Structure 1
């Protein structure tokens, strides 16, 4: 769920690379709604579709922070772990 990912990003040092396909889809929704700043890298296109391999989240927008402020039960989300690529550094 995109909003759960947004909450987890709040407690993760950015930038972060997202590698799980379901989380990359959530990143694309959060970008489209203007809640985060991120780039999604695509593999070579096969036919008319290019699969996404990774996404790099660089920040949470002011709108994203406002959305987080609306959420209840913040402690429940803080304990959730993410499956990000380990040892990633943005150059």
Structure 2
């Protein structure tokens, strides 16, 4: 799921604010793995026994762009691998 979110960010004008709790968790994972840079607003009470955070995604890092490139090459790699596995050669 974090990598799909990273792909979505590629097509989003940055910086972008993220407020949904699940997306904020994904942003945290992407920051921890070095794929994006983001800032987190302080936790503020949102209701009974819950807290809400907001993240602002600043940019996709070089590592993040490399990961996107790998994901973009994956279908082509799988197709090529399958053809070689069947004994076919690509011209």
Runs (5+) with no aligned partner, structure 1: 74-91
Conserved 8 A contact 1:24-1:52: no
CA contact (8 A) 1:41 1:52 kept: no
* TM-score normalised according to structure 1 size: 0.68
Q: Which has the higher helix share?
A: 2
Greater RCO between the two (CA within 8 Å, min separation 6)?
1
Q: Structure 2 length normalisation: TM-score?
A: 0.68
The answer for the alignment partner of 1:34 in structure 2 is 34
**Shift >6 Å, 4+ stretches:** none
Structure with larger Rg: 2
Aligned residues: 70
Contact 2:34 2:63 in 1 (8 A): yes
Q: Name the SS of the counterpart of 2:39 in structure 1.
A: strand
